[in-house]
Amino acid sequence: MTDLAPIILFVYNRPKHTETVLNALKKNSLAKDSILYVFSDAAKKEKDFENVNKVREIISKVSGFKEVVVTEAETNIGCADSITSGITKVINEHGKAIIVEDDILTAPNFLEFMNEALNRYESDKRIYSVSGFVPNEKMAEICKDFLFLAYRNSSWGWGTWADQWNDVDWDMLLWEKIKKDKNLWKKLQRGGEDAPYLLKLQMEGFIDSWAIRFYADNALKDKYTVFPTKTFVTNIGLDGSGTHCGNVKNNKSLFSENLPAVDFSFPGKLEFNNEINNLFASNYKYSLKDIIRRKIKNWLIILKRKG
Q: Give me the CATH number covering residue 84.
A: 3.90.550.10
Query: Looking at the domain assignment, is residue 241 inside a domain?
Result: yes
Query: Looking at the domain assignment, is residue 2 inside a domain?
Result: no
Query: Looking at the domain assignment, is residue 128 inside a domain?
Result: yes
* Rounded Cα gap, residues 38 and 186, in angstroms: 37
**The pLDDT of residue 236 is above 80:** yes
* Rounded Cα gap, residues 222 and 261, in angstroms: 32
Query: Looking at the domain assignment, is residue 292 inside a domain?
Result: yes
Query: Looking at the domain assignment, is residue 281 inside a domain?
Result: yes
Tens of pLDDT, residues 237-247: 875 455 544 44
Mean pLDDT of the chain: 90
* Rounded Cα gap, residues 216 and 168, in angstroms: 9
Tens of pLDDT, residues 96-125: 999 999 999 999 999 999 999 999 999 999
- C-alpha pair distances (Å), 139 with each of 145, 225, 268, 269, 304: 10, 15, 19, 18, 43
* Number of domains into which the chain is organized: 1
Q: Give me the pLDDT at residue 247, please.
A: 40
Query: Looking at the domain assignment, is residue 165 inside a domain?
Result: yes
**The pLDDT of residue 33 is above 80:** yes
Predicted TM-score (pTM) of the model is 0.90
* Rounded Cα gap, residues 12 and 238, in angstroms: 15
Q: Give me the pLDDT at residue 307, please.
A: 45
Query: Looking at the domain assignment, is residue 1 inside a domain?
Result: no
For residue 159, what are the domain limits?
Answer: 7-306
